[in-house]
Amino acid sequence: MKPNRLVTLLIHAALIIFALVSLGPLVWLVCATLKRGDDLFTYAFLPWDRLQNLSLQNFRDLFAKESFGRWVVNSIFLASTHTAVVVTLSSLGGFALAKYEFRFKRTLMALMLGTMLLPSQVLLPSSYELMDKFGWINSYLAVLVPGAVSVFGLILFKQAIETTVPDELLAAGRVDGCSELRLWWDVVMPVVRPMTGALTLMSFLGAWNSFLWPQIVLQDEGKYTLPIALANMAGLPEYQTDYGVLMAGTLVGVAPVVLLFAVLQKEFIAGLSSGAVKG
């Protein structure tokens, strides 16, 4: 066997083993949702000698609860709205930072980068006080507005636009009569589509899994998001010992992110590597 072929086989073997190890928890979660009673703690994965006991009863019990469907809708709404706002503002801001010259641009960039050094937990008291003064406590505005601008997203789009959108392309659009907003939408956004897909996935994932801040500002149970609901379900009497239902809820919470990654994986990988090679 040729050395190069042997190295390739070893690399693929290592990747397969790594993939199996990574998928292990997800496979265990799927198996746990199908088991009932003592089978959940007796068998690591599936009870091969008692497959007839497998059922979807955990999901039926989960969705029988009136509030669970509402929690899922709340999470989808907040994550989708947050993602749309962040991607729109990040692309607009990144376009301006990449292609426009204005006073104090370097100072603004330094301040923006400086904010990334602050842990988000440090800003919780002041953010809560500000939301309280606005009267937004127990409102979705308190969840959406503070995270509407992402410095990380601005920097990503700035780098992508500087690398992939030549000034000559914008000049040609202006000669054809394009407004600046139309240049952004019709010229810039199609070119940086991979970065858009990457930031969309990261923003949705962050918003979908957000727990601490929504738990602080959302006080009405009907407005809870799925992460808050799943954390509270463990403390409710009807869920104290029914771990199968909890596992079913966890799987429902994982599914949208997995599906979105399956749709955007090419854009995600291309977006993250778009700035690696210039030219």
CA distance 90 to 80: 15
Give tens-digit pLDDT for 111-121.
988 888 888 88
| Confidence band for 77, pLDDT divided at 50, 70 and 90 | very high
CA distance 197 to 199: 6
Q: In the prediction, which pLDDT does 32 show?
A: 84
Q: Does pLDDT of 139 surpass 70?
A: yes
Residue 226 burial (C-beta neighbours within 10 Å; 0-12, 13-18, 19+): buried
Give tens-digit pLDDT for 230-267.
887 765 555 455 777 888 888 888 888 888 888 877 77
Q: In the prediction, which pLDDT does 256 show?
A: 87
- The set of residues, in sequence order, having a beta carbon less than 8 Å from that of 72 and lying 6+ positions away, is 226, 252
CATH 1.10.3720.10 maps onto the chain at 67-273
Which residue has 């505005």 as its token pair? 141
Which residue has 């808050």 as its token pair? 228
Residue 82 to residues 58, 70, 85, 221: CA-CA distances in angstroms? 31, 18, 5, 20
Give tens-digit pLDDT for 159-218.
889 888 898 989 998 988 888 999 999 999 998 888 898 899 889 999 999 998 999 999
Structure tokens at 113: 């980068």
Structure tokens at 94: 């990144």
Per CATH, the homologous superfamily of domain 67-273 is MetI-like (1.10.3720.10)
CA distance 57 to 47: 16
**DSSP letter at 38?**
T
**DSSP letter at 45?**
S
CA distance 189 to 196: 8
Q: What residue type is assigned to position 19 of the chain?
A: A
Q: Does pLDDT of 89 surpass 90?
A: yes
Q: Does pLDDT of 29 surpass 80?
A: yes
Over residues 51-70, the mean pLDDT reads 80
Q: In the prediction, which pLDDT does 273 show?
A: 62
The distance in angstroms from the start CA to the end CA of the chain is 38
| Confidence band for 221, pLDDT divided at 50, 70 and 90 | confident
> In the chain, what is the greatest distance between 2 CA atoms, to the nearest angstrom?
73
Backbone dihedral angles phi then psi of residue 93, each to the nearest 5 degrees: -65, -40
* Helices vs strands, H then E, count in the chain: 15, 0
Average pLDDT score, the chain? 84
Q: Which residues of 8-39 are buried (b: 16+ CB within 10 A; e: fewer)?
A: eeeeeeeeeeeeeeeeeeeeeebbbbbbeeeb
Phi-psi region of 38 (alpha: psi -120 to 50; beta: other; left: phi over 0): alpha
CA distance 35 to 247: 10
Q: Measured at the alpha carbon of residue 93, what is the angle toward residues 90 and 97, in degrees to the nearest 5?
A: 130
